[in-house]
Structure 1
Amino acid sequence: MTVLPALSPFRTTARIVLGVFLLFAGTAHLFFAREEFAAQVPSWMPLDTDFVVVASGIVEVVLGAALIFLPRWRVHIGWIVAAFFVAVFPGNIAQYVDGVDAFGLDTDSARLTRLFFQPLLVAWALWSTGAWRDRRTLRGSTRQ
């Protein structure tokens, strides 16, 4: 088993904060902001909108809990969380392109500005888990 280098307390805190953020967002998907999240599901999505909202909420709850409670798997989880943020980005683009109001984003400039935050979430996931830094350590451990 490969031992990963320790993370700084700041990175660990950032990982836990991201986990809490995902837990909150996932809970919001499921219980009190379903309509707001439905506004982000692209019209071209071939699945039922409510299913997409509920499924993505469940994924967010699982990923948030994993970030908080599975630090041993932080690198793998970091890559998965980053991929999730990339996967939901088309919904943010669709919200901008279609001019859909949700979460107080009621102008094109507000929706456009939001698009620039998605890469920051990807970077947060990779940095706070050490996923980018420790990718070679894990890759080297599988070549035995």
Structure 2
Amino acid sequence: MKPLVILLVVFVLSIFVIRFLNQKYDVVLAARIAMCAMLCFTAIGHFAFTKGMTMMLPPIIPFKTELIYFTGVVEIILGIGLLVPNWKIYSAWILIVFFVILLPANIYAAIKQVDLQKATFDGYGLSYLWFRVPLQLLFIVWVYLSSIRF
């Protein structure tokens, strides 16, 4: 829920700041700024809630802690990449693949009822997926429309 709030609040604020600075609206740029902010916000979780995030990965995955740190750095780099004209399309395609790859981890975490902030197994469970799957799809469409399509 927090990433969605960050995405929408930064999007609305960016629209008005861009309008103030450039005397015109640029919804597509505002959308990329919002996605960058949301990715930087979620990347913080990779460092603040590392233990809980490692619990989201099945036991078969090796080097969980390192993978969590690595994906946090990747989120920051790709978020910034959305704002660099020569990188935005590459960053967007990689992000779309990244979001698709993350979905099984979210499904696994929901089945195991992982609460990533507390690093416990008393999270929301399967009901969480009713929100998370559409949210993941929203992120994919958001990136596509703001960085590849326009």
TM-score by length of 1: 0.73
Tell me which stretches of 4 or more aligned residues in structure 1 moved more than 4 Å. Answer: none
Mapped to 1, the partners of 2:139 and 2:58 lie a distance apart of: 20
- Identity across matched positions, percent: 26
Tell me by how many angstroms 1:103 deviates.
4.9
Aligned residue pairs total: 122
Does residue 21 of structure 1 match 2:35?
no
Higher relative contact order (CA 8 A, sep 6+): 1
Mapped to 1, the partners of 2:29 and 2:85 lie a distance apart of: 9
Letter matched to residue 59 of structure 2: S
Give the conservation status (yes or no) of the 8 Å contact 1:28–1:34: yes
Q: Which stretches in structure 1 are left out of the alignment for 5+ residues?
A: 1-7, 135-144
Mapped to 1, the partners of 2:49 and 2:141 lie a distance apart of: 26
Partner of 2:97: 83
Letter matched to residue 104 of structure 2: P
Structure number with the higher helix fraction is 2
Tell me by how many angstroms 1:80 deviates.
1.1
TM-score by length of 2: 0.71
Partner of 2:76: 61
- How big is the alpha-carbon RMSD for the aligned residues of Structure 1 and Structure 2? 2.1
Q: Which stretches in structure 2 are left out of the alignment for 5+ residues?
A: 1-24
SS of the residue corresponding to residue 116 of structure 1 reads helix
Give the conservation status (yes or no) of the 8 Å contact 2:82–2:88: yes
Mapped to 1, the partners of 2:129 and 2:136 lie a distance apart of: 12
